[in-house]
Amino acid sequence: MAVLARIERVRADVHAASLDAFVVTHLPNIRYLTGFTGTAGAVVLLPDTCVLMVDFRYVTAAQALVASLQTGAIVVETVPNTYDAAIVDLLRRESCRRIGIEAAWLSVSRFNAMSSDLAGGAPTPLRADGPTPVLVATDRIVERARMIKDLSEIETIREGGRRISGIARRLRDFVAVGRREDEIAAELDAAIRGAGFSRPAFDTIVASGPNSALPHARPTERRLHAGDSTVLDFGGVYDGYCVDLTRTVQLGAPSEALRQIYEAVARAHQAAVAAVRPGVRPSVIDAAARDVLVQHGLGEAFGHGTGHGIGLEIHEDPRIARESPGLPDQPVEPGMIFTIEPGAYVPDTGGVRIEDDVLVTADGCELLTDAPRLMMIDV
Amino acid sequence: MAVLARIERVRADVHAASLDAFVVTHLPNIRYLTGFTGTAGAVVLLPDTCVLMVDFRYVTAAQALVASLQTGAIVVETVPNTYDAAIVDLLRRESCRRIGIEAAWLSVSRFNAMSSDLAGGAPTPLRADGPTPVLVATDRIVERARMIKDLSEIETIREGGRRISGIARRLRDFVAVGRREDEIAAELDAAIRGAGFSRPAFDTIVASGPNSALPHARPTERRLHAGDSTVLDFGGVYDGYCVDLTRTVQLGAPSEALRQIYEAVARAHQAAVAAVRPGVRPSVIDAAARDVLVQHGLGEAFGHGTGHGIGLEIHEDPRIARESPGLPDQPVEPGMIFTIEPGAYVPDTGGVRIEDDVLVTADGCELLTDAPRLMMIDV
C-alpha cells in the first residue's frame, strides 16, 4: 500500500500550493503514485480521489492493479479519444479552478491547447459562477517526494545492487586483450538481462585506452591493448528501479601516471562515501571527492559531478555536485539513494571512474553495490 | 549538402511566419537540419546563419561535421553552462524580437524560464529601442519538411528496407513450435544488429496464439503451439533512419476462422498499397484497407490506423488513418515514405498483421520492403 502514502504526501504539497487538482503526465511519476507501468497514461489528483487515466490497451491491467489495492483511493477512467481531451473533460466535470501541471513534463503545445479548451468551447459547459480555470506551472512536486525512498523501494534497489555487483565481481570474464569494446558491451547487456534485470538502465559504456579519457564514450570497435585502463559503466532496471555501477579494469601494469590516477580516484571515492550522512549538503559530498583530486593535480580532469539520485529513473534528484545558482543543495536525508562516482580523465594517459550506489541511513550510509574497487588483470 | 537545402526550406517557412529566429530543440529535427547526431544540442536558425549549439562533449565532432560541409551556412557555438542560457544569450546578442520555438518539444518550464530571461535580467542588456522579445509557439515546421524525403534519405531507407527484408525472408529460421516468444524476439534483435542496423527501431513484437490478438503485445515466455498465428513486428535504424516490417507466420494449418482473417488482411494490404499515389488523401488509403476488412466482417477487429510515416523517427507524419478532427489529411506527395500495415485481431481466434514500407513515386508507389506476405510452416 506504499502508493497510498505517496499519494497523501503529494496531495499535501498540492493542497499547500492552493491547487484543487494536479495533473501528472510524467510516466515515472504516474508509476510512483499508482504502480501503473504502461507506456501511456495520466493521473489527475483531486482532493478526495486519484484518477488514473488509461487508454483501451491498458484498461484491464489498470483495473486489476487498482482492485488489488483494495481501496477506493484510486479510480480508473478510460480515455476515449486523446488524453488531453479526457483530462480537460474531467477537470470541467469536477469544476476545478486552479489546476497544477508538471511544467517540466508538459509541452507548450499541450499546455496551450488544454488552457484554451478549459477556457472555451469544450463539451461540458462551464458553470456561470467562478473564474475561468487556470493551469498553474508546478515544479518537481512528485520528484521531491521521490527523493526519499520508502521501504519497498529500498528493498528493490538493494536487490538490484546485489545483482549488479555480482556482474561487477566477474568483470575479469569480460575484459581481455584483443577483445572489442562493443563486443564486451553486448556481453554485459546479456549478463544484465541474465541477472534478472528487465533491461540495461542506460547505454552500457566500455571505454578502453584513449577512449577511457572520454567521460561519455560509447563502445567502439577498438580492441583492448595491454596497458589499457578500461572504464565499464553499466546498470540495470530491476522491478522498475535503476542501479548504476562503474569499475575500471587495468590490463597489465599501468604507466606511473595512470597508477597515480587510480590511486587518486579511489581515495576520492572513499572520501565522498565517508562524507555521506544526514544533514550534509550535496556540495559538501562533492567537495570531499573533488578536493582529493585537486590535491593530486587532477581537479581539471574531473569534469562532471560526483553523483546523482537513482530510482524509477537513472538520473534523479539529488544531484551531488558543486554549488551552483539554481541548483538545489538541500542537505541529504535518510532514505535518499544516489551514486558516488568520481573520475579523472587525462588525454594520452587514460581515464578512471569508480561508481557505487549508496543509501543514506540514520548515521551515515549503506553501500548498495559491492565489488573490488580496483581490478588488475595480468597480461 | 542535403542539409543546406533543408535549412533553406525551413528558413522560408520561418520567414513566412514573420519570425526573426527559430529555436529547434527536438533532436531528430536538429539532426535533419545539420547532420549532428549527438544526444544533446540545439539549433538557432537566424536569417543568414544556422547556429548549432553543443556542449563540451560534442564540440570536436560538431566542428568536424561543419567543416566537412565546406560552407559557412552552419556555425558551431559551445554551450558554457546550460543550453537555455546559451540560447537566450545568442538571441539577445542578435537582437531577435519574434522568436519561434517548437511548441511540441519545449516544456512549459523551459518556455517560462527563457521568456523571463529574455524579458529581464540576463547578462547582455537589451537595447533600449524595440519591443521586448517574445517566444512564439510554432507547430511542426521541421516535421512538415521532413515528410518529403530527399534523395539521400530515400537511398538510406531503401537500403534499410532491403536489409530488413532479408531478415523477413528467413523468418522460418526463427519460428518453430516449442520456441518462446521472448527468445525469438532476442534472436531477431541480434539479427537486426547483424544486418548492419545500429539498433532495433522499437521493441520487437513477437505475439503468438492468443497474444497475436493483442495489437500492442510485448514478447512473453509463451511457447509457440501448432495452429498458432505469430505476429512478428520488427524494424531497424540504418544510418539514422527507421524501417518497419511485420509478417505473420502460421504454424501448421490455421482454423477456418483464422484462414479467413489471413485472406482479408492480405487483401486489405494489397488494396491499400494499390491506393497509394500522389494526390490521394491518407484517409482514402486507410479506407481502401478498412473497407476490405469491413466486407469480411472484420471492421471492429482493425482497431488502429493503416500506417505512419517513417524516417529519423519510427512514427512520423503522415498518419494514414481515418479522417478525424484535428488530424491533417493532406494529399500524399512523391517522396513521402510510410508504412501500410492493416491487421485484424480476434480474441480466441488470433491476429494477423502485414506491414510494408512504401515510397510515394510520381505515379504510384514503390515497395521498399519485400518478403512473402503469407508464410506457413508445416508442423
* CB within 8 Å of A256: residues ≥ 6 apart: none
B196 and B108 in a common domain: no
**Of A70 and B261, more confident:** B261
B175 and B39 in a common domain: no
List of chain B residues with pLDDT < 50: 122-128
Alpha-carbon gap: B214 to the closest alpha carbon of chain A (Å): 9
What is the C-alpha separation between B286 and B305, in angstroms, rounded? 7
pLDDT tops 70 at residue A307: yes
pLDDT on residue B121? 55
Q: For A132-163, give the DSSP string.
A: PPEEEEE-SHHHHHHHS--HHHHHHHHHHHHH
What is the C-alpha separation between B121 and A146, in angstroms, rounded? 33
What is the C-alpha separation between B176 and B187, in angstroms, rounded? 13
Report the residue of chain B nearest A193, measured CA to CA: B186
- How does residue A324 score in pLDDT terms, banded at 50, 70 and 90? confident
SS3 B339: strand
Contact list in A for residue B111 (CB cut-off 8 A) is 108
Provide mean pLDDT across the span A304-317.
97
**Which residue from B105, B112, B216 is facing A137, i.e. has the nearest CB?**
B112
pLDDT tops 80 at residue A326: no
Quote the cell numbers at residue A90: 474531467
Q: For B237-256, give the DSSP string.
A: EETTEEEEEEEEEEESPPPH
Burial string for A118-155 (b: 16+ CB within 10 Å, else e) reads beeebeeebeeeeeebebebbebbbbebbbbbeeebbe
Q: Are residues B107 and A108, on separate chains, in Cβ contact within 8 Å? A: yes
* CB within 8 Å of B84: residues ≥ 6 apart: B110, B113, B114, B117
Pairs across A and B, CB distance < 8 A: 42
Find the helix or strand (DSSP H, E) in which B270 lies: helix B256-275
Give, to the nearest 10 degrees, the angle between helix B2-16 and helix B27-34.
120
Calculate ∠ Cα B89-B95-B96, nearest 5°: 90
| Backbone dihedral angles phi then psi of residue B333, each to the nearest 5 degrees | -130, 155
pLDDT in tens, B274-321: 999 999 999 999 999 999 999 999 999 998 999 999 999 999 999 999
If one counts every other C-beta atom within 10 angstroms of the C-beta of residue B150, the result is 16
Q: Are residues A107 and B109, on separate chains, in Cβ contact within 8 Å? A: no
Q: For A217-268, give the DSSP string.
A: ----SPBP-TT-EEEEEEEEEETTEEEEEEEEEEESPPPHHHHHHHHHHHHH
Provide mean pLDDT across the span A132-154.
95
Interface residue of B109, B138, B314 to substitute, partner A, most A CBs within 10 Å: B109
What is the C-alpha separation between B149 and B335, in angstroms, rounded? 5
Question: Of B125, B145, B165, which residue sits at a domain end?
Answer: B145
Contact list in B for residue A101 (CB cut-off 8 A) is 108
Bridge partners (DSSP) of residue A43 are A24, A52
Provide mean pLDDT across the span A257-261.
97
Q: Are residues B108 and A111, on separate chains, in Cβ contact within 8 Å? A: yes
Bridge partners (DSSP) of residue B367 are B358
- How does residue A130 score in pLDDT terms, banded at 50, 70 and 90? low
Quote the cell numbers at residue A38: 504502461
A194 and A128 in a common domain: no
B219 and B118 in a common domain: no
Contact list in A for residue B106 (CB cut-off 8 A) is 107-108
C-alpha dist (Å) from residue A269 to A105, A228, A292: 34, 21, 9
If one counts every other C-beta atom within 10 angstroms of the C-beta of residue A221, the result is 8
Question: Of B98, B114, B145, which residue sits at a domain end?
Answer: B145
If one counts every other C-beta atom within 10 angstroms of the C-beta of residue B72, the result is 10
Cis, peptide link before residue B282, omega less than 30° from 0: no
What pTM value is reported for the model? Answer: 0.88
Which CATH number do you get for residue B79? 3.40.350.10
pLDDT tops 70 at residue A161: yes
Contact list in A for residue B104 (CB cut-off 8 A) is 107-109
Q: Are residues B109 and A104, on separate chains, in Cβ contact within 8 Å? A: yes
A155 and A134 in a common domain: no
A131 and A167 in a common domain: no
Contact list in A for residue B56 (CB cut-off 8 A) is 303
**Which residue from B105, B106, B109 is facing A139, i.e. has the nearest CB?**
B109
B336 and B256 in a common domain: yes
pLDDT tops 90 at residue A50: yes
Q: Are residues B104 and A109, on separate chains, in Cβ contact within 8 Å? A: yes
Please state the domain count of chain B.
2
B254 and B129 in a common domain: no
Question: Of A91, A116, A145, which residue sits at a domain end?
Answer: A145
- How does residue A124 score in pLDDT terms, banded at 50, 70 and 90? very low
CB A309 within 8 A of CB A316: yes
pLDDT on residue B325? 78
Q: Which of the 8 DSSP states describes residue B314?
A: S
**Which residue from A106, A215, A216 is facing B108, i.e. has the nearest CB?**
A106
pLDDT on residue B110? 96
**Which residue from A107, A214, A216 is facing B107, i.e. has the nearest CB?**
A107
Find the helix or strand (DSSP H, E) in which B136 lies: strand B134-138
Provide mean pLDDT across the span A159-171.
98
Domain range enclosing B364:
148-377
B201 and B107 in a common domain: no
Alpha-carbon gap: A85 to the closest alpha carbon of chain B (Å): 12
User: In three state form, how does the secondary structure of A343-364 look?
Assistant: EEEECCCEEEECEEEEEECCCC
Contact list in A for residue B112 (CB cut-off 8 A) is 103, 137
C-alpha dist (Å) from residue A108 to A141, B111, B114, B169: 19, 7, 12, 44
What is the C-alpha separation between A269 and A274, in angstroms, rounded? 9
Burial of A227 (C-beta count, 10 Å sphere; 0-12/13-18/19+):
middle
What is the C-alpha separation between A374 and B114, in angstroms, rounded? 45
Tell me the H-state helices in B36-131.
59-69, 83-93, 108-119
pLDDT in tens, B15-50: 999 999 999 999 999 999 999 999 999 999 999 999
Structure ipTM: 0.85
**Mean pLDDT of chain A, nearest integer:** 94
pLDDT on residue A119? 86
Tell me the H-state helices in chain A.
2-16, 27-34, 59-69, 83-93, 108-119, 141-147, 151-169, 181-194, 256-275, 282-295
pLDDT on residue B188? 97
pLDDT on residue B1? 64
Burial string for A88-115 (b: 16+ CB within 10 Å, else e) reads bbbbbebebbbbbbbbbbbbbbbbbbbb
B281 and B163 in a common domain: yes
B215 and B84 in a common domain: no
B180 and B135 in a common domain: no
pLDDT on residue B129? 53
Which CATH number do you get for residue A306? 3.90.230.10
pLDDT on residue B173? 95
SS3 B338: strand
Q: Which of the 8 DSSP states describes residue A93?
A: H
Contact list in A for residue B116 (CB cut-off 8 A) is none
